[in-house]
A and B are shown apart, each in its own frame.
Chain A
Amino acid sequence: MTNYTKRNGLSRRTLLKTGVAAAAGTLAAPMLWAQSNIVLRQTGTGVSAYNEIAKKAYEDLGITLEMTASDSDTAAQRVATQPNSFDIADIEYWICKKVWPTGNLQAMDASRLKNYDKIAGTFRSGKLTPTSEIAQGTAPHTVGFTSGKNGTDFIQEESGWMTLIPTIYNADTLGIRPDLIGRPINNWSELLNPEFKGKASILDISSIGIMDMAMVVESMGEYKYPDKGNMTKAEIDLTFGIFTEAKKNGQFRAFWKSFDESVNLMASGEVVIQSMWSPAITAVRSKGVPCVYQPLEEGYRSWGGGMGLAATLEGAKLDAAYEYINWYLSGWVGGFLMRQGYYSAVPETSKLFMSDDEWGFWYEGKAAKGDIVSPQGTTMESAGAIRDGGSFIDRMGAVACWNSVMDENQYMVRKWNEFIAA
């Protein structure tokens, strides 16, 4: 678990300056909050907890963001058990399904969100394009709306009250070491191919790992799930049966739980094929080790992150939180995150903050014309490179399932423990 807190320095001089600017009545610009010393405590999974965002938010809005990052389980735990410890919860949609019923988060009034209409369809109707099929699992739109400000239920249509406001999302697949495998990989089933005995890995986070397992089982032709995102007990048993057998046969080198573990396993060559997250691939490549985020025939396993408002927020702080969220969707953050390899919930606005070449590479899947540089200044790709998996529509359009919390979640978790101990 990593924990850090970032608080922007605030000198008396800047305070006075911004205060004066605000008093001068710049109505067109976003409201400035510095004079009231608004501090928002943002806690979450750390995928989007960048100091750069906190800094920019302070410059643009005068809101001080204190960001605390942790792994998904810890974040869920905090939202569920310590409702007074945060103002904004930066979590994932499957976590939302778990923690929303506690009532520790309050719904967001969609009419106060300026770019609501531009939010990607995936988060509203569930359909990326009018013709796309809705993937299995806890798709964001299924837990994205509730009945009212204090609703603890989920509503399957755009009700005007959002549980989370989507921030970033991506489509995950297997990462491979092309230099050590030396042949094309096209299917999820390759994870259990005896050819990679002792050189495969899967992640040890049950809600995500079970979905990767389901993708593998289907790809092997062992079973076709009516709904991967909501398995029956028998289906859970079957899935773990196949994986426990593979584990006993020594298929896996290790399981990983944190981002850096996955990077080290891959970069050191301990593992040549494993479930992975997009920035981990970049991290491996930046060490000069070839690594591909391999698109597979069966499609991607996707995840979505979103921010929720603490139920305790009210008055000026609540207004500031809305201001922050509107700013978040207005483009700068989107551009910043898109340049890390994620997708922004409102792609249109992000485009304004990216160069044509960046937009072409990250979003449209075109070959890079020049070096592609991360917001931190590291060169990620050079001219001619094409993003693994191609364009936004190609990647997000091929999502086969979402990270999920199932009805039989408790049973699944117990089985997961057995699998680890087996």
Chain B
Amino acid sequence: MKLKLNNALSGWLMVSPLMLVLLIFLVLPILMILIVSFWRATEYSIIPDFVFENYEFLFGSPVTYTVFINTFKYAILTWTFTFLIGFTVAFFLAFHVRSLTWQVVCFLLCTIPFWTSNIIRMISWIPFLGRNGIANSALISWGVIDEPVEWLLFSDFSVVLAFVHIYTLFMVVPIFNTMMRIDRSLIEAARDAGASGAQILWNVILPLTKPGIMIGTIFVVTLVMGDFFTVRVMSGSQSANVGRLISNDISLLQYPSASATAIVLLLTVLIVIGILLRFVDIRKEL
């Protein structure tokens, strides 16, 4: 009995540093945001109160819906491309590169772009995609187009392109990781049983890679939904996602309204993750 108590106690003690850190740096700030979201603001001050006007305005404004739809649009598009690219790259690394040395070398190659800041990686697209940029002049000199293509820059295209560029690695790493743990004899067995390459991919590898895909998905979706800077720079300030709405509010000292939007965004992201986790039990499969 005594031993059992001690066990429970030491268990609590062991998790308490982490709990403390999470409590101070995660739970408290979120609670603070939640509280402020019910306050009122004038142009230069915030007033403690308990009113629903921030939420009323948020749900009553057509902008909110456009902006949330936009946010989802970016998240879904970015997810699709990062998944397709990430899965292909990871598959190649895990199953086609035979020697461990080359796997490590190729994997490191994938991470090289991450040695520079992602703001720099993003901004370098601007001169490349511009009206008189390298992409347009190359296409013109090849005779593909007669006039510069305008939608390459400051459009949804450039926003999604930058997102895919920045976040694909977040998909590659977890997928590669789970693929490496797949027991190769399962693939041999499938082949012996007469499965074609496509069938092995669909019926063996894909299901076994699900936890990795899910982790990558959570990374990409939450990062894209919370971003505001990429959208501002790559769309030339012409489109908005929820992050930009919040940053606009903050810059205009509308902290309560920013908090309300942040809470709604947090709940949305949590719901999305909740739905994703219904498909795969990450903890069981890791």
Binding site for B on A (CB under 8 A): 73-74, 76-77, 80-81, 98-99, 101-102, 198, 201, 204, 206, 247, 252-257, 264, 268-270, 405, 409-410, 413-414, 416-418, 420-422
Contact = CB atoms under 8 A, between A and B. Distances in A.
Nearest to A74: B251
B236 A268 contact: no
14 contacts: A77-B251, A80-B44, A98-B253, A254-B236, A255-B237, A405-B43, A414-B61, A417-B245, A420-B238, A420-B240, A420-B248, A421-B239, A421-B245, A422-B66
B127 interface: yes
Given A102-B45, A269-B132, A414-B57, 17 more contacts: A73-B251, A76-B253, A77-B253, A254-B235, A254-B236, A254-B238, A256-B236, A268-B127, A268-B130, A268-B133, A405-B43, A413-B248, A414-B61, A418-B63, A420-B244, A421-B63, A421-B66
Nearest to B46: A81
B83 interface: no
Given A247-B238, A268-B132, A81 B63 contact: no
Contact of A421 (B70, B131, B153): B70
A73 B240 contact: no
Given A74-B251, A264-B126, A270-B153, A421 B44 contact: no
Nearest to A405: B43
A255 B43 CA distance: 24
B79 interface: no
A269 to B, nearest CB: 5
B51 to A, nearest CB: 15
B67 interface: yes
A269 B237 contact: no
A270 B152 CA distance: 12
Nearest to A256: B237
B150 interface: yes
Nearest to A421: B240
A76 B254 CA distance: 12
A421 B248 CA distance: 11
Q: Is the interface of B mostly helix, strand, loop or mixed?
A: loop
B43 A410 contact: yes
Interface in B131-157: 131-133, 150, 153-154
B232 interface: yes
Contact of A257 (B45, B63, B237, B254): B237
B186 interface: no
A409 B238 contact: no
A253 B240 CA distance: 15
B97 interface: no
Nearest to A264: B126
Contact of B236 (A76, A255, A405, A417): A255
Contacts of A257: 232, 237
B239 A268 contact: no
B282 interface: no
Nearest to A79: B44
Given A268-B130, A405-B43, A254 B252 contact: no
B43 A253 contact: no
A28 B57 CA distance: 61
Contacts of A98: 43-44, 253
Interface string B12-43: 00000000000000000000000000000001
A381 B252 CA distance: 38
Nearest to A416: B248
Contact of A255 (B44, B238, B250): B238
Contact of A254 (B133, B237, B248): B237
Contacts of B133: 268
Interface in B151-195: 153-154
